[in-house]
């Protein structure tokens, strides 16, 4: 394969928004997640459409998959822990800048949000410790990890449709 085709594949894969697991950032910081309603075949079909639009010859699926697996640490399935839409949105602005003022604002927002997240975790740990030490304290903890973003819409070719906003349905487990 030519270097130009390889570069085109890499640039195509880089176009997709990535999500970082919110709870396992430290343990698994290199792994990024693509939308769980996609897969390599859907992404490859989008690549072929892009090639057709730009009058380029597409590489074979096997080569596209090879580049996807060897050059990127990406996964399609839902991460074992939740991703944070707010962090992901700001990280995408930082990584793919259009406006310097938005980048600096997003950096501040990410740092602030992560600090709030760490404070919430510390408060939860503190509350649990208070519960252990006291007989008249009740602590209720829950995780909203079991949320279902809806609707999941697909086109007639089983390609996911992109929506600006999705509704989250909290599932009782």
pLDDT tens-digit readout, 75-90:
876 544 555 777 778 8
What's the CA dihedral at 79, 74, 18, 163 to 10 degrees? Answer: -70
Same structural domain, 29 and 73: yes
134 is a domain residue: yes
Average pLDDT over residues 87-109: 83
- Residues 58, 96 within the same domain: no
Measured between alpha carbons, how far is 64 from 6 in angstroms, rounded to an integer? 9
Q: Looking at residue 173, what is its pLDDT?
A: 47
Do 125 and 55 belong to one domain?
Answer: no
Q: Please give the mean pLDDT across all residues of the chain.
A: 77
* Environment class of 62 (CB within 10 Å of its CB; exposed 0-12, middle 13-18, buried 19+): exposed
The verdict on 7 and 52 lying in the same domain is yes
Per the structure, the count of domains in the chain is 2
Domain residue limits at 125: 85-141
52 and 93 share one domain: no
Are 65 and 54 in the same domain?
A: yes
In a domain, 107, yes or no: yes
Whole-number pLDDT of residue 121: 86
Query: Are both 41 and 103 inside the same structural domain?
Result: no
Whether this model's pTM surpasses 0.75: no
Q: What is the pLDDT of residue 82?
A: 55
Mean predicted confidence (pLDDT) in 48-58: 92
Question: Do both 12 and 77 map to the same domain?
Answer: yes
pLDDT tier at 52, thresholds 50, 70, 90: very high
């Amino acid at each position: 394969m030519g270097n130009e085709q390889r570069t085109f594949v890499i640039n195509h894969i880089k176009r997709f928004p990535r999500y970082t697991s919110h709870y396992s950032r430290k343990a698994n910081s290199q792994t990024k997640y693509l939308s769980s309603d996609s897969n390599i075949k859907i992404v490859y079909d989008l690549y072929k459409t892009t090639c057709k639009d730009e009058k380029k010859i597409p590489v074979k699926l096997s080569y596209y998959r090879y580049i996807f697996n060897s050059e990127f640490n990406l996964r399609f399935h839902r991460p074992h822990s939740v991703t944070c839409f707010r962090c992901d949105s700001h990280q995408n602005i930082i990584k793919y800048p259009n406006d310097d003022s938005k980048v600096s604002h997003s950096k501040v927002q990410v740092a602030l949000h992560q600090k709030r997240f760490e404070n919430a975790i510390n408060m939860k740990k503190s509350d649990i410790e208070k519960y252990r030490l006291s007989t008249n304290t009740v602590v209720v903890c829950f995780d909203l990890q079991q949320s279902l973003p809806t609707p999941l819409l697909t086109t007639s070719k089983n390609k996911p449709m992109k929506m600006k906003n999705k509704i989250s349905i909290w599932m009782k487990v």
